[in-house]
Amino acid sequence: MAADRHADRTVIVTGAASGIGRGIARRFGEEGANVVVADLRRDPKQGEKYDTDVTTPTDELVREETAGDATYVETDVGDPESVEAMVERVVDTYDGIDVLVNNAGIQIVGDSQTTSVEEWQQSIDVDLSGAFYCAKFAIPHIVEREGQIINVGSVRGFEGGGGPPYAAAKGGVVNMTRDLAMELGEENVRVNCINPGYVETPLQDILTEEDMAKSREQTLLPRFGTPEDVGDAAVFLASEEAGFITGANLPVDGGWLAHSGL
């Protein structure tokens, strides 16, 4: 049965056209929120390689996907002007912002020698700078409603792995979460971070069998995570039940970090 903890609240979820972001958006929609899907229109070739479940978003599609009122806003989180325009459109449409979920991200697999300078910059732009831009422009509106910011980091932000730019960016998201929590605490705005382990999305199709075996060994529970697992954590952290939680980095990882001793 769908709950209504977030009825009529306005929630921005970046990177919500697929994968973890789609799961987060769906859960907020099921809980009655007005969901803004902020994402790029994907290149079909890229979709075939990385995100086979991606369809070019439309308002009709995201309403169906999220089971609630939803709006698609084409957004490049790595471009501050695009982010600012998205925030302005959301405020014009819904008169404010209650929750920002910084989920958009890319992972470029490679080491320091195979990762190009351009790939490094692209990853930092999307995975780290994008979260900052969204927070920067949304915060004045979130403060007005004493809302919440939820960042999506990764277990790689604690232990490394996943490629130098990805590990660096996610480590930055973890620490930016703490800094924003310190900045906004007196405004009664809570800022937390969800750190997934292995989550079953089409993005994982690029992993090798060796990578998969390592992930199975690292995950203590007898299954991998799902986008909805992360969505469940997000709707909790944005709810009144989590009203005294801020600056936290919550693993949603099936025990991954416990296995690592972190």
Domain that residue 61 falls in: 10-256
Identify whether 238 is part of a domain: yes
> 50, 94, 133, 166: which is the annotated catalytic residue?
166
Q: Tens digits of per-residue pLDDT, 229-242?
A: 999 999 999 999 99
Give a yes or no: residue 91 inside a domain: yes
The count of domains in the chain is: 1
Task: Report yes or no on 262 lying in a domain.
Answer: no
CATH of the domain at 33: 3.40.50.720
In the predicted model, is pLDDT for residue 111 greater than 90? Answer: yes
pLDDT digits (tens, 9 = 90+) for 147-163: 999 999 999 999 999 89
* pLDDT confidence band for 109 (50 / 70 / 90): confident
Is 166 assigned a catalytic role? yes
- Which H, E and C letters describe the chain, residue by residue? CCCCCCCCCEEEEECCCCHHHHHHHHHHHHCCCEEEEEECCCCHHHHHHCCCCCCCCCHHHHHHHHCCCEEEEECCCCCHHHHHHHHHHHHHHHCCCCEEEECCCCCCCCCCCCCCHHHHHHHHHHHHHHHHHHHHHHHHHHHHCCCEEEEECCCHHHHCCCCHHHHHHHHHHHHHHHHHHHHHHHHCCEEEEEEECCECCHHHHHCCHHHHHHHHHHCCCCCCECHHHHHHHHHHHCCHHHCCCCCCEEEECCCHHHHHCC
